[in-house]
Amino acid sequence: MGLQFDPTNYDQQLDAKRERLIALLAPFGAPEPEVFSSDPEHFRLRAEFRLWYENGQPYYAMFEQGDKRKPVLIDQLPIASRRINELMGPLLEACKKEPVLGKKLFQVEFLTTLSNEALVTLCYHRPIDENWDEAGQRLAKQLGIMLIGRSRGRKRVLQRDHVKEELAVAGRTWRYQQVEGGFTQPNGKVNQHMLSWALDAAGQNEDDLLELYCGNGNFTLPLSTRFRRVLATELAKRSVYSALENLEANGIENVTLVRLASEEVTEALTGVREFRRLQGIDLAGFDFGTVFVDPPRAGLDPATLELVKGYKRILYISCNPETLAANLAELNVSHRVTRCALFDQFPYTHHMESGVLLERR
């Protein structure tokens, strides 16, 4: 059993995405996009499976979007990393043999890295306790993984709750803590392309960078080498903690990280409101020449859109080309698109990641 896909059509689907991006950016006079392809197989570093039971036996299952009644039963997933595929069979067999691991298990989540670490989370419809810990430790040792157990109101971490990724960007290796349940880019090799492109597009600067939606510092770390100082902002506590760990692990000292939503950053920078979280931070001491944004699928909200118009250069990474185009319709009045790129983070889907550099007219 396996999920059907055809890697021989990869180039064709990538070209269709390129044409779609060109059409969306045509009204703004954008140049030809730089295209960064994915490996056609084994590119996805994380995967989540529900378990489907037939005659009392568990199977990994995936579902068509919006339909939870007709499972696709699989034992391998060619788009997932090789490490995930290596673990799928032995993990499920161990859970079948050991009742304390398999009883009322309903979901399995894999998080792997290019550096070959693996963290697996087992989710249960029953409480788990120290007995589960003992069996889990044996399983973790057997498979060479880190293991977490989850049930309602409980989380049992046997080794650690994160993986340690290493990404090569412009001749330097960056180390990242990626926490279970937190957001990380799913396609590690394409992520390296994104970081390298953003670094090149940013160029070398004598002034400062404002970064909104910084997450765990994915872009923050390499971009910090291209600016005098960086003010990075993020709202999610878990991402903020990871970003702080990542800054320290990589010896980055020119980044100031604050936990604020993009709307709050706008209020702070325009003097509309003061925040205790900004005490001791001299906002007036920053000289922002570039703003970097990597917003959610909804794109930039109206207030943030007005804020970024005030900067000479806007570096915009988008996971939704439609909302990017809508934002560019506003930004095109004051800025022009001087570079653009397509990053194929999600092969065989309609989703695509893109990037644009805008410079003031």
The answer to whether the annotation marks 180 as part of a ligand binding site is: no
The answer to whether the annotation marks 133 as part of a ligand binding site is: no
- Annotated catalytic, 95? no
- Annotated catalytic, 319? yes
- Other beta carbons within 10 angstroms of residue 99's beta carbon come to 9
Burial of 23 (0-12, 13-18, 19+ CB in 10 A): exposed
- Take residue 274 and report the two structure tokens written for it: 């003061």
Residue 256's nearest CA partner among 288, 303, 301 is 288
Distance of CA 207 to the CA centre of its chain: 27
Q: Are strands 46-54 and 105-112 parallel, antiparallel or unpaired?
A: antiparallel
Crossing angle between the packed helical segments 82-97 and 130-143, to the nearest 10 degrees: 140
Q: Which of 117, 165, 264, 353 is catalytic?
A: 353
**Number of helical (H) and strand (E) elements in the chain, helices listed first:** 10, 17
- Other beta carbons within 10 angstroms of residue 173's beta carbon come to 10
Q: Which of 48, 319, 322, 340 is catalytic?
A: 319
User: Which residue type sits at 2?
Assistant: G
Q: Which residues contact 298 (CB under 8 A, 6 or more apart)?
A: 320, 323
Phi, psi of 25 (to 5 degrees): -95, -5
The answer to whether the annotation marks 187 as part of a ligand binding site is: no
Distance of CA 171 to the CA centre of its chain: 22
C-beta separation of 73 from 211 below 8 A: no
Distance CA 267, CA 273 (A): 5
Helix (H, G, I), strand (E, B) or coil at 172: strand
The answer to whether the annotation marks 218 as part of a ligand binding site is: yes
The answer to whether the annotation marks 185 as part of a ligand binding site is: yes
Burial of 126 (0-12, 13-18, 19+ CB in 10 A): exposed
Residue ranges of the binding site? 185, 213, 218, 234, 294
| Catalytic positions | 319, 353
Residues in binding site for S-adenosyl-L-methionine: 185, 213, 218, 234, 294
